[in-house]
């Protein structure tokens, strides 16, 4: 092979290696850019989904990243939402000390920003924690505070969901009339917001109410429909809400004969939310 051919071959090989390295670098830069460009709000949504799926480690990691971004950019919204996200994670382990720390930060944020929303979130998250622990009086006080602020500030979403949440407290305290009224109000508000009456999430409260009233067959029917719709809609209930649903499922397994459980489950395969509300809500 002549020197000229060796030179051409060497140059060609060098160009091919150079192009390959450039392509790898380009791919790497694009991947890094894609990670960097993920929006903080998208990260918070991902953190919430991971929390619902039980992956607290990654959920906390993402929330802390957003919290740091918020502090660096002095963005009150990012700071408040990240703190609220971390409050949810504290619920899972019943970490009241961590919740108290996060609550103090939300209070400071509300004071510095003049935004009552952060006090509302603080009250709501504390209510959820104390309901999980079983201190219903303390939970009720915090729900009342959250509902007062949400009503005054026009935060209809939180105002609606807290009717559902507070119904658990009323049911646990044996005030079935109030619980029934709160569940009805929850569905009324849902309908006013977006005409959504087939909301499966509210059925958890209904199942719990029926079980506490010792209507075990009704409780089982509602629980079966709730789980079916959750699976179909890819819904992961939060810990304070799933806890009473699990309690219902365990109780009916204990008191109802297997044949009755099977028959109710088979008959509930096509039951709708609206039909159950009409059947069981007074």
Alpha-carbon 115 to chain mean position: 23
Nearest CA to 209 among 263, 166, 240, 239?
Answer: 166
State which residues of the chain have pLDDT below 50: 17, 31-36
- pLDDT of res. 195: 64
- pLDDT of res. 166: 97
- pLDDT of res. 282: 83
Cβ–Cβ < 8 Å for 177, 209: no
- pLDDT of res. 208: 98
- pLDDT of res. 67: 97
DSSP state letters, the chain: --HHHHHHHHHHHHHHHHHHHHHHHHHHHHHHHHHHT--HHHHHHHHHHHHHTT-HHHHHHHHHHHHHHHHHHT-HHHHHHHHHHHHHHHHHTT-HHHHHHHHHHHHHHHHHH--THHHHHHHHHHHHHHHHHT-HHHHHHHHHHHHHHHHHHT-HHHHHHHHHHHHHHHHHTT-HHHHHHHHHHHHHHHHHHH-----STTHHHHHHHHHHTT-HHHHHHHHHHHHHHHHHHT----HHHHHHHHHHHHHHHHHS-HHHHHHHHHHTTT--HHHHHHHH--
Three-state SS across 117-131? Answer: HHHHHHHHHHHHHHH
User: Cα separations (Å) of 208 from 52, 72, 155, 188, 265?
Assistant: 20, 44, 27, 19, 17
């Amino acid at each position: 092979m002549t020197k000229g051919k060796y030179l051409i071959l060497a140059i060609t090989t060098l160009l091919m290696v150079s192009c390959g390295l450039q392509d790898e670098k380009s791919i790497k830069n694009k991947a890094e850019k894609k990670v960097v460009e993920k929006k903080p709000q998208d990260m918070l949504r991902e953190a919430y989904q991971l929390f619902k799926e039980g992956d607290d480690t990654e959920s906390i990691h993402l929330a802390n990243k957003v919290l740091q971004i918020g502090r660096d950019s002095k963005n009150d919204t990012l700071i408040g939402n990240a703190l609220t996200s971390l409050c949810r994670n504290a619920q899972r382990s019943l970490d009241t000390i961590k919740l108290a720390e996060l609550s103090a930060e939300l209070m400071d944020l509300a004071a510095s920003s003049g935004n009552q929303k952060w006090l509302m979130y603080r009250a709501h998250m504390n209510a959820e924690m104390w309901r999980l622990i079983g201190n219903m009086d303390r939970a009720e006080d915090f729900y009342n505070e959250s509902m007062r602020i949400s009503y005054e500030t026009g935060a209809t979403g939180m105002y609606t969901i807290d009717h559902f949440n507070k119904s658990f407290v009323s049911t646990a305290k044996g005030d079935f009339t109030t619980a029934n009224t709160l569940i009805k109000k929850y569905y009324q508000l849902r309908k006013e917001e977006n005409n959504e009456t087939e909301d499966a999430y509210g059925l958890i409260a209904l199942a719990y109410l029926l079980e506490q009233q010792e209507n075990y067959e009704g409780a089982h029917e509602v629980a079966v429909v709730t789980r079916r719709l959750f699976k179909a809609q890819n819904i992961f209930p939060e810990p304070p809400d799933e806890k009473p649903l699990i309690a219902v499922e365990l109780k009916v397994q204990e008191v109802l004969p297997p044949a009755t459980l099977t028959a109710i489950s088979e008959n509930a395969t096509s039951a709708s939310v609206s039909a159950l509300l009409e059947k069981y809500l007074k």
